[in-house]
Structure 1
Amino acid sequence: MPADKTYSALALQVAARSVEGAPDRAAARAQMLAQIDEVGAKLRASSIFISQYSGAPVRLAVLPEYLLTSYPGRISIGDFAHKAALEIDGPEYEAFGRIAQAQNLFLAGNAYEVDPHFPGLYFQTSFVVAPSGDVVLRYRRLNSMFAPTPHDVWSKYLDVYGIDGVFPVARTEIGNLAAIASEEILYPEIARAHALRGAEVFVHSSSEVGSPLATQKAIAKRARAFENIAYVVSANTAGIEGSGMPAASADGNSIVVDFKGKVLAESNAGETFTAFADIDIGALRAARRKPGMINYLARQRTELFAPIYADTVVQPADSLIEDGKVKVPDRDHFVRVQQQVIERLDKEGLI
C-alpha cells in the first residue's frame, strides 16, 4: 500500500505479564512465547473489527512496553539479562514475525534485549516487525533511570552501530517509522532527532499510570506530535500481571494523536482495542511542505542550540566503560550517577 493511502493504526492495550514468578530461564521463555500467541489472537480479532468498522485496514499495531516480562525490579542486571532478555534473532522475534506476516501489518513492540557486543548487559529495545516477518527497526532506549542504555557505553556503541543505529528510522510503505520508549516521550530532543531524520509516525510503547487528569506523558504525546508534525501511536499496558504491585497501577489511556496534536482516539482502562484511528501520511507530508507559522519543523534553527548542547554535559557518557571495557553495574549504580550529576550541577551554579 503506498504511503499516501489512509490506513488504520492500533494501540493495542493488553496486560503485561511479569516473569518474576517463573522458576528459571526455560519457564520464562515458555511463558513469553505463550503470551505472544495470545496477543496475536487478540490482535487478529481486533483488526478484523476495526477494518469492518472504519473501512481502512490495520497496517500498524503498537504493543505496550515490556509486555512479555514487566519491569526487572530488584533482580540483578546479569540475572535479568539471562532470564528475561530476548536475543536479537531469538524465537520471540520469530513469533512476532509470524504474526506480522499472517496479518499483513507492521507490528511495533518493546522488550528487554541482550547484545553480544555488550555481554552481561541488556537494553530496553523498541522494535518494528514488517509484514515480511523481518525486524526493520531496532531502537534502544537512550534515557533510563534504572537500566543500561547505549549512552552508558557510548564510545563502544558508536563504534559498533554508528549514529544510524542510535536514531533509526524505518522507511516503509506506510510511512517513515521511529520509536520512542516509555518516559522518553517527556524528552523532546529524542522525538526531534528522529523527526530530523525523516520520522513521520512515532510508535510509543509505554507502561504508565492512566488517569482522567492530564498527566505529564499525556501532555507530552500531544506536544511531540504537533511540534514535529508527526503522528503518535501510544500503547499503554492494561495493568501488569504477576508482580507485587496492584494490577491496574499502569493501565489505560492508550492513544492516537495526529500531526496537529489532536487526539483521534483514546482508550479507557482494561484490555481493549479502542485506541485506533486513520493515519493519513499524504496529509502529513502536505502539511510539512506548506510554508507558514505552524510548520514548526521547517522553522527549526538547530545551529542556535548546537553550541549549548555541545558545551554542556549533564548525564555523562560511558558510565559503564571502565579501562576500556564494559562493566556490569549493580542496581544502585544509576542512582549514584544521578546524585553525582546533581552535586556537580549545583556546584557549577546550574541548578
Structure 2
Amino acid sequence: MEANTDRIDSFRALALQVTCHAVNQARDRTEARSLMQQTIKRLGQQIAASIAFIGFDCRLIVLPEYFLTGFPMGESLASWAQKACLEMAGAEYEALGQIAQKNQIFLAGNAYEIDRNFPGLYFQTCFVLDPSGSIVLRYRRLNSMFAPTPHDVWDKYLDCYGLDGVFPVAKTAIGNLAALASEEILYPEVARCLALRGAEIFLHSTSEVYGKERSPKEAAKISRAVENMAYIVSANTAGIANIPIPIASADGGSKIIDYRGIVLAETGSGESMAAFAEIDLEALRRYRRRPGLNNLLSRQRLELYAESYRQSHFYPANTMLEGEVDRKHFIQTQRETIERLAKLGII
C-alpha cells in the first residue's frame, strides 16, 4: 500500500469497550442482519459521543473482537457463514464506513467474513476503515482453535493474496497500522512479521477474561509493545449478551500501551470510552532511530533463527483446501500434531 503523505504526527486513539450482542439465537440470516444493523446504529451514537468528550483530535477508534455477532457456539461452518459472516463489500462494512466518514476517523474492528475465493469457509477478519469510509487494511486471523485460517488453505491463499496479504500493514496518515486478533497477542511471530513490514501501531480487537491478576495475555501485550517498539491499542468486549455463558465473562481491561511498554490508559469493566490516550508518532520514530541497548528492532539478528523455523513442522498447512469440514477437524488435527511432536521428543 502506498504511503500517505498527509501525515498526522500526534492524535488520540480510543479502545472503545462495548457490549457484544450475539446473533446465535437469530432464527435466520435476515434477523441476524437486523441485529447487526442495530449494533452499528448504537455504535454510531457511542462513537460520536465519545469523540465529543475526548476531542476532535481522536482519529483512531478500535472496536472489540466479533463485536457484531459474537462467536459460533456449535453452528456448522456453513450455518455460521450464512447467518453471521459479512461479505467483503457488504452492507455492514458500508454502514461502518459511513461512521468513519462522518466522524473523520480510522475505525478498526473484527468480524467473521466470507471470501468467494474460498467457498465453504470463512475467516475471522480484522479490518480498518479510513476517513473516506474505504477499507485500507484486511487481516485474516492466522491462529485459531475452531475457525478456518489462511494457513489451512495456505498454498491457495498465497496465490490469491501473496505474503504481504497475509501480513498486511497499512501506511496511513496516522502511521503504519497492523492488526492482531484476540489470542494472537500470545504469538510473538505474528507481531514480529508485521513489525518487519513497518508496523507502528498494533490494533488488537479481543474478547477475553479480565481480572485483577495479570493474565498471560496481559503480559503478552506489554511484551509485544516492547519487543517491537510499537503502540498497542487493545479493545475488549464489555461482556457478550444473548448467549448461555454469563455476560461478564469477557469484560474489561481495554487499554493503550506505548512503545516502551507503559500503559497509558486502561478501563475497568462495563461499556466505557475511558481507554483513550495520545499517540505520538514523532516520539516513537525518534525512539526507533536512537542507537542503544533499548533499540531492540535494530538489534535483531534474524538469520540466527531462520533455519530452525524452516526445519520445523508443527501444525500442518493446507488441511482445508477441499472446503468445509466438520468442526471435529480442528481438535483432531491438534491431537495428531501433539502426538507427532511427542514422538519426536519435542513436547
Aligned partners of 1:157, 1:242: CA distance in 2, in Å?
34
Q: CA RMSD in A?
A: 0.9
Aligned to 1:200: 200
Partner amino acid, structure 1, of 2:316:
P
Aligned partners of 1:31, 1:21: CA distance in 2, in Å?
11
Aligned partners of 2:268, 2:230: CA distance in 1, in Å?
23
Secondary structure at the residue paired with 1:178?
A: strand
Q: Does the 8 A contact of 1:16 with 1:69 survive in 2?
A: yes
Q: Does the 8 A contact of 1:255 with 1:264 survive in 2?
A: yes
Q: For each residue in 1:204-246, what CA deviation from the matched residue of structure 2 results, as whole angstroms up to 9, or x when unmatched?
A: 0000001111011111111100110100000000000101100
For the pair 1:184 / 2:184, whether they are aligned, the reply is yes
Structure 1 position 332, deviation (Å):
1.1
Matches within 5 A, 1:32-111: 32-51=36-55, 57-111=57-111
For the pair 1:22 / 2:26, whether they are aligned, the reply is yes
Aligned partners of 1:37, 1:18: CA distance in 2, in Å?
15
Matches within 5 A, 1:140-151: 140-151=140-151
- Residue 339 (structure 2) aligned to one of 336, 343, 347: 343
For the pair 1:175 / 2:178, whether they are aligned, the reply is no
For the pair 1:254 / 2:250, whether they are aligned, the reply is no
Secondary structure at the residue paired with 1:293?
A: coil
Aligned partners of 1:44, 1:350: CA distance in 2, in Å?
52
Specify whether residues 299 and 76 from structure 1 end up closer, same or farther in structure 2 by C-alpha distance, changes over 3 A only.
same
For the pair 1:115 / 2:123, whether they are aligned, the reply is no
Aligned to 2:223: 223
Structure 1 position 171, deviation (Å):
0.3
Aligned partners of 1:66, 1:314: CA distance in 2, in Å?
28
Aligned to 1:274: 274
Q: Does the 8 A contact of 1:205 with 1:236 survive in 2?
A: yes
For the pair 1:330 / 2:332, whether they are aligned, the reply is no
Gaps of 5+ in 2: none
Structure 1 position 327, deviation (Å):
2.3
Aligned partners of 1:48, 1:3: CA distance in 2, in Å?
23
Q: Does the 8 A contact of 1:65 with 1:109 survive in 2?
A: yes
Structure 1 position 344, deviation (Å):
0.2
Fraction of identical pairs, as percent: 57
Aligned partners of 2:225, 2:52: CA distance in 1, in Å?
27
Aligned partners of 2:165, 2:9: CA distance in 1, in Å?
29
Q: Does the 8 A contact of 1:237 with 1:250 survive in 2?
A: yes
| TM-score, length-scaled by structure 2 | 0.98
Q: Does the 8 A contact of 1:3 with 1:281 survive in 2?
A: no
Partner amino acid, structure 1, of 2:86:
L
Structure 1 position 4, deviation (Å):
5.2
Aligned partners of 1:126, 1:236: CA distance in 2, in Å?
14
Aligned partners of 2:37, 2:325: CA distance in 1, in Å?
29
Structure 1 position 40, deviation (Å):
1.1
User: How many residues are aligned here?
Assistant: 343
Q: Does the 8 A contact of 1:3 with 1:282 survive in 2?
A: no
Gaps of 5+ in 1: none
Q: For each residue in 1:281-302, what CA deviation from the matched residue of structure 2 results, as whole angstroms up to 9, or x when unmatched?
A: 1110111111111000111011
Moved over 6 A (4+): none
Aligned partners of 1:261, 1:92: CA distance in 2, in Å?
35
